[in-house]
Structure 1
Amino acid sequence: MTTFLQIHLLTSYPPSNPNRDDQGRPKQAMVGGAPRLRHSSQSIKRALRESTPFDRGLAGHVGKRTKLLGVELEAELIKAGNDPVAARKAAVDVAKVFSTLEAVKKGEPDSPKGTTLAFISPDEWAAARDLAARSVAGEEIAKDKELKKLVLRRADGAVDIAMFGRMLASDPEYNRDAAVQVSHAITTHRALVEEDFFTAVDDLNKREETGAGHMGEHAFGSGVFYLYACVNVDLLVENLAGDRALAAEGLAALAESFATATPSGKQNSHAHHPRASYIRIEKGAQQPRDLSGAFFKPVDLRSEDVERKSIAELEKLVGQIDRAYGKCCDAAQVMDVKAETGSLAEILAFARGAVAS
């Protein structure tokens, strides 16, 4: 029976633009006929992977998404004193494991740069580095499928790959199904993008020109965001080659980063560093369910406290779903900052305990 860990968060953002669209404006969504601000799932997962809890708590167990494996291998081999031509060949041979390489003009040496981003675990990176070193030393290494078997892993200690999955189009047998699903975060209430008109002054031209040296516009928004995530705990353990202790620490890092990390767009312009004001974390074998329906009808902005009203609507829906469907989790832990109930330490302990369930 599968164990699921579900996380629901409410976080209040000040005027900011953490996640931009193609025009540089905050991303949006229409929900329940009302415009909302939105943070994409992709931007949230990037923020999680780059967060302090992942960096500090999962050191040595975080992968890298890159096209530049071959470029890095080549540079390392040359730095170690190897012939540049031999270093390039060795790097190219190994880099082909992860991606088709960039095309070059006829007569030029093969490029070690990939054409697609590959999500590479620390174990795979170490295997690639070892094979490249052996190749440049003159050792005959395996080719094609046999080489891939020496480098690629179906499961290992890369927590972020185990959580968020990966796809290798040319080698689907080494794909990894994501153990963590992350929603797009939306405001619980109606929210519109605002415009800021700004100017800049030329510091060295004060006598001749007293007006602006530059004028521009910048979009931003603010609101209370609801975010939901669901973890298949059994799949996470499987993706980590059965390492339950690492899975537990991964869940703790995930919960902490959800509470504290944010997409970093326009960070210097807005200094947005919000922390979740409300977290509800649940575990059990029941079918997962998100609570976004609590906000399909937007929270009334005329409420005395929109954040408090959002919490009330979320908890109301929890009770309504439990009444209709039966209990939707075996256990839950709540942290409500302004009500002074629960703590992050309790949330993390609860997350770790999901592995033992």
Structure 2
Amino acid sequence: MKLLEVHVIQTVAPSNLNRDDTGSPKDALFGGFRRARISSQAQKRAVRVAFGEWPLLPPEERAVRTKRLVEELVRRIPAPQEQARLAVENALNALGFGVKEGRTEYLLFLGGRELDRLAELIQANLEALAAGEAKGKKKAEVDGELKRALEKVLDGGKAVDLALFGRMLADRPELGVDAAAQVAHALSTHRVDREFDFYTAVDDLNPKEETGAGMMGDVEFYSATLYRYAAVNLDLLLDNLQGDGELARKGTLAFLEAFALTLPSGKQNTFAAHNPPLFVAFRAGEGLPRNLATAFEKPLRPREDKALSALSVEALAREWARFDQVFGPLNPEWKGALNLTDGNAEGLPSLKDLPQLKAQVEKALKDLLEVEDAHSPS
């Protein structure tokens, strides 16, 4: 398996970046102790938002997740709105996406090119797809050839985030896409205790003789040094992107940057915990992925002479070396680390900045994704 791994140590100030259903920051038991946690889903959402906002990828190389697919497709079809809407609903129902009250029954994840081609195909078959209303039926009968053409459109559309994070369609598993990226739940390298911030809000128009708060409440938070991990299956990513090696390299680099530099945005107006990572390491090559959270199974303890972030980097480097000694490194292997802590990341080549790290990863990706071409006949 050809892969890229990203290992991050990140210290965040008091925050509540990822809440549970009660509004409390998420946590988990690990090694018998309570740890801070940020879910994989929340981290992947932050990456997808970054793809568009920074921007790292143009719209045609991204996907959208929505129940409002009818509205989006109708907007793209130059035809009377009611006719277009009926045709779109009949097409989506034929695909098994179940439209009710103008919305699909569940969230659909479709690439920009898939949406374009789906709209073009519906427009080209507008009369056939909207024929049900003329015959007094709620739905038009979609013939087998047209249905197969509609299904053929749903090939992922070479959307990078769809290729990375996958698509699950419970009713149509054959139209699903296996995720090429795996993102671990972030865990603190030490035990944590939740804290509470009691707050009050003053009514600005209160007369002077009236005292007291206009509103009061509390919000939970914690601060933590987190270990974050992700792995990208490069073989599967290349397959999901229909063999486009250049797009696979571009998409992997975009994922690397977005994953390293983003966090969920929960309660940021309250806490402003905009803390960049203090350590980013990569490992690329052929072999099996390794999540190094076991370096922190025994929670680290604060020391006056060394920060938790530095202790975390040293524990991670020791675990990395231990696994290499027992199980061997990747073959071939590229690795390197950007380290802003005082910790010694022994065994990991030191990189001076993010551009240099990205350049090293790009070199590895080029070799890995073109290795088959190198052996093909000229």
State the TM-score, normalized to the length of structure 1: 0.90
Query: What is the match of residue 316 of structure 2?
Result: 314
User: Whole-Å Cα distance in 2 between the matches of residues 100 and 273 of structure 1?
Assistant: 41
2:90 is equivalent to residue 93 of structure 1: yes
**Alignment-mate amino acid for residue 29 of structure 1:** A
* Secondary structure in structure 2 of the residue aligned to 1:43: helix
Deviates more, 1:341-350 or 1:15-24: 341-350
Q: Is the 8 A contact 1:288 1:328 kept in 2?
A: no
CA-CA distance at 1:75 after TM superposition? 4.7
**Alignment-mate amino acid for residue 336 of structure 1:** N
2:73 is equivalent to residue 83 of structure 1: no
CA-CA distance at 1:84 after TM superposition? 3.9
CA-CA distance at 1:30 after TM superposition? 0.5
Q: How does 1:211-250 map to 2 (within 5 A)?
A: 211-250=212-251
Query: What is the match of residue 336 of structure 1?
Result: 339
Query: What is the match of residue 42 of structure 1?
Result: 41
CA-CA distance at 1:176 after TM superposition? 0.9
Query: What is the match of residue 24 of structure 1?
Result: 23
* Secondary structure in structure 2 of the residue aligned to 1:346: helix
Q: Which string of whole-angstrom CA distances, capped at 9 and with x for unpartnered residues, describes residues 304-323 of structure 1?
A: 31110000100011111112
Aligned-pair RMSD on alpha carbons?
A: 2.1
* Secondary structure in structure 2 of the residue aligned to 1:156: coil
Deviates more, 1:166-175 or 1:67-76: 67-76
* Secondary structure in structure 1 of the residue aligned to 2:20: coil
Q: Which string of whole-angstrom CA distances, capped at 9 and with x for unpartnered residues, describes residues 54-99 of structure 1?
A: 752211201001111112233555xx5x434323212212333362
**Alignment-mate amino acid for residue 319 of structure 2:** L
Query: What is the match of residue 62 of structure 1?
Result: 62
User: Whole-Å Cα distance in 2 between the matches of residues 235 and 302 of structure 1?
Assistant: 43
Deviates more, 1:174-183 or 1:55-64: 55-64
2:358 is equivalent to residue 348 of structure 1: yes
Deviates more, 1:163-172 or 1:139-148: 139-148
* Secondary structure in structure 1 of the residue aligned to 2:17: coil
* Secondary structure in structure 1 of the residue aligned to 2:103: coil
CA-CA distance at 1:150 after TM superposition? 3.0
User: Whole-Å Cα distance in 1 between the matches of residues 169 and 366 of structure 2?
Assistant: 28
CA-CA distance at 1:32 after TM superposition? 0.6
User: Whole-Å Cα distance in 2 between the matches of residues 246 and 98 of structure 1?
Assistant: 30
Q: Is the 8 A contact 1:15 1:222 kept in 2?
A: yes
Residues 128, 156 of structure 1: alpha-carbon distance in 2 compared, 3 angstrom cutoff:
closer
State the TM-score, normalized to the length of structure 2: 0.85
Q: Is the 8 A contact 1:27 1:37 kept in 2?
A: yes
Residues 83, 356 of structure 1: alpha-carbon distance in 2 compared, 3 angstrom cutoff:
same
Residues 321, 116 of structure 1: alpha-carbon distance in 2 compared, 3 angstrom cutoff:
same
Residues 143, 20 of structure 1: alpha-carbon distance in 2 compared, 3 angstrom cutoff:
farther
User: Whole-Å Cα distance in 1 between the matches of residues 80 and 245 of structure 2?
Assistant: 44
**Alignment-mate amino acid for residue 69 of structure 1:** L
**Alignment-mate amino acid for residue 356 of structure 1:** D
Query: What is the match of residue 130 of structure 1?
Result: 120
CA-CA distance at 1:286 after TM superposition? 1.7
User: Whole-Å Cα distance in 2 between the matches of residues 133 and 251 of structure 1?
Assistant: 35
Unaligned runs of 5+ in 2: 131-141, 343-349, 369-378
Residues 355, 143 of structure 1: alpha-carbon distance in 2 compared, 3 angstrom cutoff:
farther
* Secondary structure in structure 1 of the residue aligned to 2:192: coil
Q: Which string of whole-angstrom CA distances, capped at 9 and with x for unpartnered residues, describes residues 151-194 of structure 1?
A: 53334310011111111122211211111111000000011111
Q: Is the 8 A contact 1:4 1:233 kept in 2?
A: yes
User: Whole-Å Cα distance in 1 between the matches of residues 287 and 296 of structure 2?
Assistant: 23
Query: What is the match of residue 106 of structure 1?
Result: none
Query: What is the match of residue 105 of structure 1?
Result: none
* Secondary structure in structure 2 of the residue aligned to 1:50: helix
Q: What percent identity do the matched residue pairs reach?
A: 36
CA-CA distance at 1:337 after TM superposition? 2.1
User: Whole-Å Cα distance in 2 between the matches of residues 262 and 127 of structure 1?
Assistant: 33
Residues 202, 269 of structure 1: alpha-carbon distance in 2 compared, 3 angstrom cutoff:
same
CA-CA distance at 1:246 after TM superposition? 0.6
Q: Is the 8 A contact 1:98 1:118 kept in 2?
A: no
Unaligned runs of 5+ in 1: 103-110
Query: What is the match of residue 291 of structure 1?
Result: 292
Q: Is the 8 A contact 2:18 2:266 kept in 1?
A: yes
Deviates more, 1:119-128 or 1:83-92: 83-92
User: Whole-Å Cα distance in 2 between the matches of residues 328 and 53 of structure 1?
Assistant: 33
Q: How does 1:120-199 map to 2 (within 5 A)?
A: 120-136=110-126, 138=127, 143=143, 146-151=146-151, 152-199=153-200
User: Whole-Å Cα distance in 2 between the matches of residues 43 and 145 of structure 1?
Assistant: 40
User: Whole-Å Cα distance in 1 between the matches of residues 67 and 156 of structure 2?
Assistant: 21
Residues 170, 91 of structure 1: alpha-carbon distance in 2 compared, 3 angstrom cutoff:
same
Deviates more, 1:346-355 or 1:197-206: 346-355
